[in-house]
Amino acid sequence: MLLKKVYTLVFISKDQQILLGLKKRGFGVNKWNGFGGKLEPNETIVEAASRELQEECCIRVKTTDLKNIGHLEFTFEGDKTMMEVRVFGSKLFEGIPRETEEMLPKWFPCNNIPFDNMWPDDRIWFPYMLKGQLFYGRFHYKDLNTILNYHIEELKSMEEFYNRNL
């Protein structure tokens, strides 16, 4: 039986650009990614997403401005933990992205995403996000750089996904 851990992942976009952060420490170090992390006790998923964004790049977004755009599940060979990642997006935010101890933020044109310096699965599900399509993806890794198998699908609504998986 798998132990499930829930995480958030937030992507901010503006003017055909997306904000990514270069991870400076911990899991995913030296990879470009969105901003996010684990839930704190008594915190909702959107509260966690908003808090992590502010902690990692110093910009603020209201929880009501975060849209759940995807659901990702990751497993790794020999690891009994499944990472359940709720993906959020927003075009509304306050502040200027700034470097923190954990992340170095940078705007990228949506047609020039640095996939060679990102998780391998990003090439597969990013196109859904960039087109504004809701998505679900499940990825099983051999190691941190090798996907053994995956499933990806477009969703009509996130509610449809969560209702069918109750």
Q: From residue 34, how far is each of 49, 60, 100, 159 by CA, in Å?
A: 11, 14, 14, 23
Per-residue pLDDT of the chain (166 residues; tens, 9 = 90+): 789 999 999 999 999 999 999 999 988 999 999 999 999 999 999 999 999 999 999 999 999 999 999 999 999 999 999 999 999 999 999 999 999 999 999 999 999 999 999 999 999 999 999 999 999 999 999 999 999 999 999 999 888 777 766 5
Whole-angstrom Cα Rg for the chain: 15
Q: Give the pTM.
A: 0.94
| Calpha distance 81→35 (Å, rounded) | 21
Q: Give the fold, CATH level 3, of 3-164.
A: Nucleoside Triphosphate Pyrophosphohydrolase (3.90.79)
